[in-house]
Structure 1
Amino acid sequence: MTTAITGGRVVPVDGPPVEGGTVLIANGKITAVGDVEVPADAEVVDAAGKWVLPGFVEAHGHLGVCEESQGWAGQDVNEMTDPVTARVRAIDGINPDDEGFRDALSGGVTTVVVKPGSGNVIGGHTVAVKCWGRTADEMLLRDPVSMKSALGENPKRVYGDKDKLPSTRLGVAAVIREALTKAQDYKARKAAANGPFDRDLTNEALVAVLDGDLPWCQHAHRADDIATALRLAAEFGYRLVLNHGTEAHLLADLIAERGVPVVTGPLFTARTKVELRHRTLRNPGILDRAGVRIAITTDHPVIPINFLVHQVTLAVKEGLDPAAGLRSITVNPASMMGLDDRVGALKVGLDADVVVWSGDPLDVMSRALQVFVDGRQVYRFNAETGLGETQPIFYQES
C-alpha cells in the first residue's frame, strides 16, 4: 500500500523545503518527495498547514538499557566489573518496553544509538535501533555501530573507589593503550596462525576499531580529556567521534583541523561537577562556525529524549544556525554513525521514518502530531484528549 503525506511544508533537511509538498511511502521506504503526483489508490494524510520532516536521530542515548522508574532492576547500561568490556553488546540489554521509547516518538525521535555508559574505560558495542518494536531484533537498524569509551572523571571514580586501576587520568589512558596494543598483537598472531586459533571476543571487538570498521565514540568533557582523545586517535589511527565535548569550544580549531565530529550535550544540565564548569549553550554554534560537524544529544535519561529538539532551539537562541540545528539531529548524527543510507533525511530510498509537526519543530509550542516508522504510523497526538497515543508493541489477541 502507498501512503501520501500531502500539502505540508516538506523539509527534507538535505535539500530545500517544498511548500505544499508530498512525501510518498511504499513498502516501508520513501519513494518520492516534493511536487509529485499522488497515486489514485494511495492512503492520503492531509498535512496542509503543517511541517513534514524526517524522524530525528539521537546519536547518544541509553534507552532500554537505563530504564526509567526501574531503579537497580532496570540498570543494564554498564558491566562495571572490568574496566575493559569491549566484548559486551548494548543490544543484549535493551528492554523495548522502556517508557523512554514512547517519549522519543512524542518528540519526533525515531532512531537512537544506544550506548553502554561511561563507568568503564572501554564500555562495549553500541547499537542503532528504531524507537518502536517488541524486541530489540525487530527494532534493529545496525549492530554494532561503534565502540564506546570514556575518559575523565567517571572511570577514575568507579575504579578508584574499588582501589583498582585506573584511579587517575594517567591510568585511564594507560588502560586504553594497553587494550589496543594487545589487540594489535592479537591481530598479528591471528594472521600468522596456520591452524586453529583461540578467539578472544574483547580483542576481536577492538580489532574492528583498529581496522576502521567501527568508529570510537569517546566520552570526554574537559579540554584536557579531549586533547587526550585526539592524541590516542592519532597514535592508533582509529576513527574518533567525540561524545559530550562540553569544553570542545575551547579547542574548536584543533578539532576542526583533525576533522573529528562532536556529539555534544546534554545541554540542559546544571554544572554539577568539575567537568561541566564550562558548559554553555553556545558550544554547538561555536563548533559549527569553526567547521566542526556536530550532533546534539540528550544523553537520555540525563535529559528526557523528547526534549532533543528543544535543546536545538536553545542552542539556536545562543547563536547556532537554525539549518545547522536541524542537521544536528538528522543528517549529521546519521552520517557520523554510518546510518545515512537508511535514515536522517526525506530522500528517495531511505526508510520511511517521517514526522508530521503542527509547525516549525524549533518552536517550543509545536508538537509531533503523527509519527511513521518504516512507513507505519506508530504515534499520533489526540487533540481531543490532549494525549499522545502509541501503537501497542506486544501481541494482542483479536
Structure 2
Amino acid sequence: MLAAALPAAAQDLLVRDATVHTAGSAGTLRDHDVLVQGGVVRAIGPDLAAPAGVPVIEAKGRPLTPGLFGGLTGLGIEEVSGERATVDSGLALGAMTPAHEGSSWRPEFDVDVAFNPHSAAIGVNRVEGITFTVLSPAALPGGSFVAGQGSAVLLDGRYDAAIPGTRSLFIDLGSDASGLSGGSRAGQWMLLEQAVAEARGGGGEGLLTRAGRAALARYLAGGRVVFHVDRAADIRRVLAFAKQQGMRPVIAGGNEAWRVADELKAANAVVLLDSLANLPDNFDSLSSSLENAARLHRAGVRVGFTQRGDATHNARKVRQLAGNAVAHGLPWEAGLAALTSVPADTFGLGGQRGRIAVGLAADLVLWSGDPLEVTTVAEQVWFGGVPASMRSRQTELRDRYLAPKGDLPRAYTR
C-alpha cells in the first residue's frame, strides 16, 4: 500500500509526476509534483527536488485531487439509519406549543456536539476520497421545519472535527415540510415571519425560546442558511426572504433550480443538487432535468452536489453525481470543483481547503484513474499530509469472507 512507506505522523511528502487537478485557477497540471511540508502544500511544479528525509510517492501520471466533499450528511451523527437510538440528527419535542410549555421550534439545536469521529460510516466513505462533510440536521415529525444547525467537519478521526466559522442553519421548505406547518407551505412563510419578528425583538406569540431567538438572530446578520427546497416558485420566495432578512442562502435540492437560474445568479446563491433527479417524484419536482447542473453553470450559478435519501452511508457516491452531470453537459473541471472548491468556499473553508494550492492544507487524494468515473478507486488519502488508513469495516469484512476457509467458521478471526 502507498501509505506503508510513510510514518504514522508524517506531514511531509513529495507526490511526484502526478496529473494535479488543482480545482482552482491553475486548472489541471500534467506531470507535476506536489511538495508537502508541515501538513501544508509548499510547492507545485515539475521536477521538484525532494528535501532530505521526505518520503516520495511516485504517482506515474495518476490523478491527484483535493479531498472531496461528501455533501450534506449525518456522518458521525448517524450510525445505523434503521436504529433510531443511533441517529442524533433530528429533534422532535412534540407538537408545536407556546415556548413556555416546550416549543418544538429550536433553531438553537446544534448537531455538532453529537459528532462521533469513530463512526464506522465515516471510515467507509473516507477510504473513497471523502475528507469533509457538512452535518445536516433533519426535520422530524414532532419537530420543526427549522431543523437546527450544523458545521463542516473533517473526517480524519479527530474529536474536535467541527471547523470554526462553518456553522449553518438548516430550513426545510415545500411539500415535504408541509406537515410541520399546518399542512400548507403558506404556513411555513407565516411561521418564519413570526420567528424572525421574535428574533428581532418585535414581540410574537412565543414561537421561540430565549436561546432560539438568540440563535436565529445570528443568522439575520449575514449568516449562512441552507434551504432544502425544490420548486422554482419556492426558490424565488426563498431568495426574496433571504435578501430581506440579511441571510446568505444556499439551496439544497433545487430540482427546478434551472428555471430560476438568473435569479440565483443575481442573489449569488449556491445550489447543492442531486444530478440524478430526473423523473419527478413529487409535485415540487415536475421540471427536474439531468441537465440541471449544466444549465445552472452556463448561467453563472455556482453548483455543488449532495445526495437525497440515504446521503450519510452513501456519501462516497457523490462522485457519481458529478460524473453524471458531466455526461449531461457540465464541464469536467466544474464537476470536480463542485466536489471540492465550491463547497469549501460555500461553507467557509475556501482559505484552508478545497484546492491544491501553495499555503493550503494538504488534504489530498491519489486516484487510480478519472475520479469522476465510478470504476476508479482512491489509492491513498491524506489529511494535512498525514496518510489516512485505507481500511474500513467493509474492507475488513471483505477480507474476512474472501479468505480461504480454515478450521473455524469465517465469523471467527482466530
TM, length-normalised to structure 2: 0.82
Please state how far the C-alpha of 1:229 moved relative to its aligned partner: 0.6
SS at match of 1:338: coil
The residue that corresponds to 2:69 in the other structure is 57
Give yes or no for the alignment of 1:100 onto 2:121: yes
Aligned twin of 2:99: none
SS of residue matched to 2:200: helix
Check conservation: 2:166, 2:348, Cα contact below 8 A.
no
1: distance between equivalents of 2:398 and 2:43?
Answer: 28
- 8 Å CA contact 1:150–1:220 kept in 2: the answer is yes
Looking at structure 1, the residues matched to 245 and 53 of structure 2 have their Cα atoms a distance apart, in angstroms, of 56
After TM superposition, the structure 1 = structure 2 runs for residues 230-269 of structure 1, keeping only pairs within 5 Å, are 230-265=239-274, 267=276
Tell me, in whole angstroms, the C-alpha distance in 2 between the residues paired with 1:116 and 1:344: 23
Partner Cα separation in structure 1 for residue 277 and residue 363 of structure 2: 27
- Partners in 2 of 1:362 and 1:11 — Cα distance? 12
Which amino acid letter does the alignment assign opposite residue 26 of structure 1?
Q
Bigger Rg, which one: 2
Q: Which residue of 1 aligns with 2:136?
A: 115
How far residue 267 of structure 1 moved from its aligned partner, in angstroms, is 2.8
Q: In the aligned structure 1, how far is the partner of 2:20 from the partner of 2:195?
A: 48
Show the 5 A alignment for 1:191-340: 200-212=210-222, 214-265=223-274, 267=276, 271-299=280-308, 301-302=310-311, 304-340=314-350
Contact kept, 8 Å, 2:226 with 2:252, in 1: the verdict is yes
CA distance in 2, matches of 1:22, 1:31: 11
Partners of 2:74 and 2:114 lie apart in 1 by 10
Task: Provide closer, same or farther for how the CA distance between residues 47 and 323 of structure 1 changes in structure 2, counting only shifts above 3 A.
Answer: same
Q: Verify the 8 A CA contact 1:28 1:376 in the aligned structure 2.
A: yes
Give yes or no for contact 1:126–1:143 (8 Å, CA) kept in 2.
Answer: no
AA aligned opposite 1:93: A
1:179 aligns with 2:192: no
Q: Residue 116 of structure 2 aligns to a residue in which SS?
A: coil
Counterpart of 2:14 in structure 1 is 4
Deviation, structure 1 residue 302: 3.6
Q: Which residues of structure 1 form unaligned runs of 5+?
A: 160-164, 188-198, 390-398
CA distance in 2, matches of 1:236, 1:375: 41
Q: Is the 8 A contact 2:72 2:311 kept in 1?
A: no
Contact 1:68 1:99 in 2 (8 A): no
The number of aligned residues is 367
Cα shift at 1:143: 5.4
Deviation of 1:320 after TM superposition, in Å, equals 0.9
What's the secondary structure of 1:240's corresponding residue?
Answer: strand
Q: TM-score, normalised by structure 1?
A: 0.85
1:337/1:300 Cα in 2 relative to 1: closer, same or farther (>3 Å)?
A: farther
SS in structure 2 of the partner of residue 111 of structure 1: strand
How big is the shift at 1:106?
A: 2.7
Indicate the percent of aligned positions where both proteins have the same amino acid.
27
Q: 1:173: how far off?
A: 1.0
Post-superposition offset of 1:17 = 2.0
Aligned equivalents of 2:397, 2:45: Cα separation in 1:
31
| Paired position in structure 2 for 1:133 | 157
Q: Which residues of structure 2 form unaligned runs of 5+? A: 1-10, 94-102, 204-208, 400-414
Matching residue's letter, 1:184: R
Quick check: 1:83–1:155 contact (8 Å CA) kept in 2? no
SS of 1:64's equivalent?
coil
Determine helix, strand or coil for the equivalent of 1:142: coil
Residue 42 of structure 2 is matched in structure 1 by 31
The amino acid of 1:168's aligned partner reads S
1:269-318: CA deviation from partner (whole Å, max 9, x where unpaired): 87443333433221111111111111111247247111111111111111
